[in-house]
């Protein structure tokens, strides 16, 4: 005989509280209640083996307490740190993060969003440039699902947006290389430029309009592949549009018997943890990755609380972190 499913009413009766109290405590509102009551409800949930039916809750107009996060490449340390910041804030608010790794594949990312929506996800954080505005409108806007676009994805005017001052970041890299005496410089950029990378590039080229621009794959392998071309030029420094590209340049130079700094100065972008552990340590533009993640989570939670409020566009600053990968060029 099939065992009867435990309901919220069963938990309430066991804990000697109302079903509304159980619902609020188990849905992130525990701070509103006496700690002894909270402990009693949680013990009742454990003793009875109660599991919330998220889809049923969604059908009766309540939140599923799930937020979908779409990123293009979870192997990139940038997104590791970003998601960690998002998850920390969501967890404290009683929400669960669900991750979709799009792989820069627009069709796959659209399917991820569709599946998230089908499973009752309350809101979405879009950190991938590959998903089209049309897909966002079809899957999310038309179905009134709130979402937030991050720096990777250009704002579409249909949602909140969280940006980083990438144009200023490109300018900071250029000004630093100029201060170090570098006149002939190069940019290493991906073949497909999302909006945030375009801004980095523009900021740099405003200062170095004649800089050599090399396109490659957006990865460490792509950075490594750019090195043979760099070595045929007279550039003394290179600005890689993210740290992954810079790490690839490190490897490529080493395989050609060259050294970062003495043979070619390198500036990266992101300030992922590995920057401090390569030799020489990488000078880079720091993006406040944890703050970016936490702010994104706070914005989507605020949108869920006030769904009709005016859309916000928030911009966070960047800064240059000087280490040892750039030398003075006399």
Q: Please count the residues of the chain.
A: 330
Same domain, 33 and 88: no
The reply to whether 280 and 171 lie within a common domain is yes
pLDDT single digits (tens) 58-86: 544 567 789 999 998 888 889 999 999 99
Q: Domain check: are 159 and 208 in the same one? A: no
- φ and ψ of 319, to 5 deg: -150, 155
Give domain status of residue 303, yes or no: yes
Burial grade of 34 (CB within 10 A; 0-12, 13-18, 19 or more): exposed
Distance CA 107, CA 71 (A): 14
Nearest alpha-carbon partner for 150 in 158, 136, 160: 160
* CB 125, CB 298: distance < 8 Å: no
For the chain, the straight-line distance linking the first and the last C-alpha, in angstroms and rounded, comes to 85
Q: 119-148 pLDDT, tens per residue? A: 889 999 999 888 888 888 888 887 788 999
Structural domain boundaries, residue 47 = 8-52
User: Chain-wide mean pLDDT for the chain?
Assistant: 90
Does 127 share its domain with 239? no
328 within some domain: no
Tell me: do 112 and 193 sit in the same domain: no
Q: Classify residue 3: in a domain, yes or no.
A: no
**Residue 158 sits in the same domain as residue 211:** no
CATH of the domain at 203: 3.40.50.2300
Task: Answer yes or no: is 296 within a domain.
Answer: yes
Asked, for residue 254, whether it belongs to a domain, the answer is yes
Angstrom distance (rounded) from CA 159 to CA 294: 18
What would the mean pLDDT of 231-256 be, rounded to a whole number? 97
- Strand order across the 160-164 sheet: 96-101, 66-71, 123-126, 147-149, 160-164, 313-316
Give Cα separations from 292 to 191, 298, 311 (angstroms).
26, 10, 18
- Residue 148, SS3? strand
Is 31 part of any domain?
A: yes
Q: Which of 137, 153, 174 is nearest to 70 (CA)?
A: 153
152-161, 196-205, 213-222: which range is least confident on average? 152-161
**Given its phi and psi angles, is residue 270 left (phi above 0), alpha (psi -120 to 50 degrees) or beta?**
left
Q: What is the DSSP letter of 140?
A: I
Percent of the chain topping pLDDT 70: 94
Asked if 102 and 173 sit in the same domain, the reply is no
Q: Is residue 224 part of a domain?
A: yes
Residues 161 and 297 in one domain: yes
Per-residue pLDDT at 51 exceeds 90: no
Any domain includes 322 = no
Q: Where does 231-326 have alpha helices with state H?
A: 243-255, 289-305
Asked if residue 35 has pLDDT above 50, the reply is yes
CA 48 – CA 91 distance, rounded (Å): 24
Rg (CA), the chain: 24
Tell me: do 12 and 32 sit in the same domain: yes
Distances (CA, A) of 205 to 81, 98, 115, 182, 210: 29, 38, 41, 14, 7
Domain count of the fold of the chain: 3
Same domain, 47 and 137: no
Question: 28 pLDDT band (50/70/90 cuts)?
Answer: low
3-state helix, strand, coil in the chain (%, to 5): 45, 20, 35
Whether 186 and 259 share a structural domain: yes
**Mean of the pLDDT values across residues 245-267?**
97
Query: pLDDT at position 116, please?
Result: 87
For 273-327, what is each residue's pLDDT tens digit? 999 999 999 999 999 999 999 999 999 999 999 999 999 999 999 999 999 999 9
**Contact in structure between 250 and 200 (CB atoms under 8 Å):** no
Check whether residue 161 and residue 298 sit in a common domain: yes
Residue 15 in tokens: 């804990």
321 and 286 in contact (C-beta within 8 Å)?
A: yes
């Amino acid at each position: 005989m099939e065992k009867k499913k435990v309901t919220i009413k069963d938990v309430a009766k066991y804990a000697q509280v109302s079903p509304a109290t159980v619902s609020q405590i188990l849905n992130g509102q525990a701070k509103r209640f006496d700690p002894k009551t909270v402990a009693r409800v949680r013990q009742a949930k454990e003793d009875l083996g109660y599991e919330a039916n998220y889809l049923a809750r969604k059908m009766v107009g309540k939140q599923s307490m799930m937020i979908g996060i779409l990123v293009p490449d979870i192997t990139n340390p940038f997104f590791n740190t970003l998601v960690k910041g998002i998850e920390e804030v969501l967890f404290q608010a009683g929400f669960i993060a669900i991750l979709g790794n799009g792989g820069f594949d627009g069709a796959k990312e659209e399917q991820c969003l569709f599946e998230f929506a089908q499973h009752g996800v309350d809101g979405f954080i879009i950190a991938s440039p590959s998903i089209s505005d049309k897909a966002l409108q079809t899957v999310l806007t038309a179905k009134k699902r709130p979402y937030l676009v991050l720096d990777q994805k250009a704002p579409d005017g249909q949602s909140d947006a969280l940006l980083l001052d990438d144009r200023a970041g490109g300018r900071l890299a250029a000004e630093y290389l100029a201060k170090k005496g570098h006149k002939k410089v190069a940019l290493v950029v991906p073949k497909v430029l999302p909006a945030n990378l375009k801004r980095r590039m523009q900021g740099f080229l405003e200062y170095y309009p004649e800089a050599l621009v090399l396109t490659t794959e957006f990865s460490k392998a792509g950075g490594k592949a750019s090195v043979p071309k760099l070595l045929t030029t007279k550039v003394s420094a290179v600005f890689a549009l993210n740290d992954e590209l810079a790490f690839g340049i490190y490897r490529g130079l080493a395989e050609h018997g060259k050294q970062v700094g003495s043979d070619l100065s390198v500036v990266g972008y992101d300030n992922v943890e590995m920057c401090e552990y390569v030799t020489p340590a990488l000078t880079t533009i720091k993006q406040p990755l944890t703050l970016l993640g936490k702010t994104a989570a706070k914005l989507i939670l605020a949108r869920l609380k006030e769904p009709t409020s005016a859309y916000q566009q928030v911009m966070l600053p960047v800064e240059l972190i000087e280490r040892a990968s750039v030398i003075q060029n006399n």
